[in-house]
Amino acid sequence: MTAPVAITLTVNGERLTRLAEPRETLADFLRRDLGLTGTHLGCEMGVCGACLVMLDGTPVHSCLSFAVQADGSAVETIEGLTESAAVTDLQQAFHERNALQCGFCTPGMLVTAQGLLARKASPSREEIRDALSGNYCRCTGYEAIVDAIETVARRRAASREELPA
Amino acid sequence: MKAQAFSYVRPATIAQALDAFAGADGAATYIAGGQSLVPAMALRLQAPELLIDIAHLAELRGIALDEDGGLRLGALTRHAEAHDDPLIAAHAPLLALAAPFVAHPAIRNRGTLGGSVALADPASEFPAMMLALGATIEVAGPEGTRRIAAEDFFQDLYQTTMEPGELLVAFHIPAARPGDRCVFDELARRRGDYALVGCGVKLAMPAGTVDEARIAFLAVGPIPTRARNAEDALAGTRLDAEGIRAAQAALGADLDPQDDDQVPGAMRLHLARVLLGRLLGRLASAP
C-alpha cells in the first residue's frame, strides 16, 4: 500500500495524471517528476519559504504537503506564474531594485508577493514585511525586496486607475 | 529529511475515516492541514504507517450560527479564515486577533483550527483562545459524538481527553454579547517566533463594570491556562488602575511557569504580569 498511487492535478494550467509515492512531498513531485526545478527546497520543514507555490490560488509550502494530498487541486509554480506573465512586473521590479543576489529565495518571495497583492492592493511597508516573515533571504537584507513589492503595488494601482471605465 | 514510507487514504465521510483508523492497529494518523504533522514526519519524530486525509470531509467544514445563536466552527476552518471571516470577527474575535501571531502567512493558508487544538501545543494560540472563549469541542468516535468543554480538554503536554482514533469535528462558541471586549497579544523575541508568553482576555462589560472576565495564557506551562484568580480580582471593578494591579498580583496564584532553557520561570511570570497589565490597560483606554 505504500506503492505509488495515481494522482490527477492541474499544474500550471495543464491537467496531468502521474504516479506518486505517498511519502513524496509536493515539492519533490514538482521538481523530480515534472522537472519544475524553479520551486526550491531549503529547509524542508516549512521555515524558509523557498518552496512556496500557489495551491488552489493561495501560497503554501510545497514541502509541507504530500503530492497525494494535492490530488484534484490546481498548482501554480514560478514557471507557470512566469509564463502567464502574472508576475512579470514583480520580476522586473526585483531586477531593477537589485532585490536578489543569489536568487535562491526569489521564487518563494515572488509567490508571497503575488499572494499578498492579490489580497491587499496597497499594503504598507509594515504589512509587506509581515507577509515576508516566512521567507528567508540571506543575501539582500530584505530592504530592496520590500521596495520592489511596494513599487509594484503602486504601479498596479496606477494602471488600474488608467483603465477606461 | 524525508518522511518514512506510509500508505494514504482519503475517506469521504467521518464514518469511513473512523473505520480506516480502527483497521490500522494503532499505526494511523489523521492529517488535515499537516502544517505540524508533515515537518514532524520529515524529522522522523512521527512515522505513521497510514495517513488518513480528512481535509475533504464536508462534515468538518463550515462557519455558521447554530440554533441557540452560538457559533459552530468546523474543525477544518483554516487559520487564514479565522483571521478574515466576518462571523468569527463578530462572535469569536479572539481567534481573529490571535491568528496573525500563528506561524507565517503561508502556514496559515493551510493549517486548521482543529489540527492546532487537537495537537495541544502549549505554546499555540488557538488552544488558549478556545479556553478564553468558553468553547465546547465536538469529537466523533466509534461510539458516536461527544462534546467536551475546553476547560476539560487539555490534560498535559500534547495530551487531550480525545481517545486514539477520535476525530475533532467542530468548535461551539457562545454568542458574543453587547459590551464584550476582547484583546490578544504576546511577547516574543522576534516576530513569528514562539511566544515567551501570550494572553487573550475577554471581558463582559455591559455597563462600565466587569461582569465577567476570562483570561487565558499560552506558553506558561504544559497546557493552556486560565487565570481564575486574576479573573476574580477583575470582576466587579471598573477596570481602573487598582483593579488591573490586583489582577496582575493575583497571577502569582494562577501561573507557575518552570525554568527552561529560554527563560527562568520567575521571568516568565513577570512577563505574564507585564503583558496582562498592557492588555487590560488597552481595554480600559479603548473607546
Give me the count of residues in chain A: 165
Q: Hunting for cell 487590560 — which residue is that?
A: B280
ipTM: 0.94
Residues of chain B with pLDDT under 70: 191-192, 287
Distance CA B274, CA B49 (A): 46
Q: What angle do CA B19, B25, B27 make, to 5 degrees?
A: 100
Q: Hunting for cell 502574472 — which residue is that?
A: A86
- Boundary of a domain, candidates A77, A97, A129: A77
pLDDT at A1 over 70: no
Q: Same domain for A73 and A99? A: no
Give the pLDDT of residue B259.
96
> What sign for the dihedral angle of Cα A117, A121, A122, A127?
negative
Note the CATH architecture for domain B180-285: 2-Layer Sandwich (3.30)
Asked whether the beta carbons of B128 and B185 are under 8 A apart, the reply is no
**CB < 8 Å to B192, chain A:** 133-134
Q: Same domain for A71 and A128? A: no
Confidence of residue A70 (pLDDT cuts 50, 70, 90): very high
CA-based nearest distance A164→chain B, Å: 31
Asked whether the beta carbons of B255 and B224 are under 8 A apart, the reply is no
- Boundary of a domain, candidates A27, A57, A77: A77
**CB < 8 Å to B24, chain A:** none
Q: Same domain for A61 and A116? A: no
Distance CA B242, CA B230 (A): 13
- Boundary of a domain, candidates A77, A107, A126: A77
Provide the pairing of β-strand B136-141 with B71-74.
unpaired
Q: What angle do CA B142, B40, B48 make, to 5 degrees?
A: 40
Q: What is the DSSP string of B63-129?
A: EEE-TTS-EEEETT-BHHHHHH-HHHHHH-HHHHHHGGGSS-HHHHTT-BHHHHHHHT-TT-HHHHH
> What sign for the dihedral angle of Cα B45, B50, B55, B60?
negative
For the domain made up of B58-173, the CATH class stated in words is alpha beta
Fold (topology level) of B7-53: 3.30.43
Give me A59's grid cell: 501560497
CA-based nearest distance A160→chain B, Å: 25
Question: Within a domain: residue A82?
Answer: no
Provide the pairing of β-strand B50-53 with B7-9.
parallel
**CB < 8 Å to A45, chain B:** 39, 42-43
B51/A contact by beta carbon, under 8 A: yes
Closest among A69, A67, A5 to A36, alpha carbons compared: A67
B214 CB neighbour count, 10 Å cutoff? 21
Give Cβ neighbours of residue A139 (< 8 Å, ≥ 6 apart). A100, A101, A102, A105
CB–CB contact B2 A69 (8 Å): no
CB–CB contact A66 B51 (8 Å): yes
B23/A contact by beta carbon, under 8 A: no
Q: Same domain for A96 and A125? A: yes
Give the pLDDT of residue B191.
67
Q: Same domain for A72 and A91? A: no
What backbone phi and psi angles, to 5 degrees, belong to B198? Answer: -135, 155
Question: Within a domain: residue A39?
Answer: yes
Q: Give the residue numbers spanning the domain of A57.
A: 5-77
CB–CB contact B31 A69 (8 Å): yes
Q: Hunting for cell 455591559 — which residue is that?
A: B206
Confidence of residue A165 (pLDDT cuts 50, 70, 90): low
Give the pLDDT of residue B1.
80
Same topology between domain B7-53 and domain B58-173: no
Q: What is the pLDDT of residues B113-166, one digit of tens each?
A: 999 999 999 999 999 999 999 999 999 999 999 999 999 999 999 999 999 999
Give the pLDDT of residue B287.
63
Asked whether the beta carbons of B154 and B223 are under 8 A apart, the reply is yes
- Buried residues in A91-125 as b, exposed as e (16+ CB within 10 A): bebbeebebbeeebbbbbbbbbbbbbbeeeeebee
Domain count of the fold of chain A: 2
Give the pLDDT of residue A57.
96
Query: Residue ranges per domain, chain B?
Result: 7-53, 58-173, 180-285
B146/A contact by beta carbon, under 8 A: no
Q: Which CATH number belongs to the domain containing residue A9 in this structure?
A: 3.10.20.30
A34 CB neighbour count, 10 Å cutoff? 18
Q: Same domain for A92 and A48? A: no
Closest among A128, A4, A104, A102 to A48, alpha carbons compared: A104
Interface of B with A in 73-92 (CB under 8 A): 80
Q: Same domain for A142 and A109? A: yes
Q: Same domain for A142 and A99? A: yes
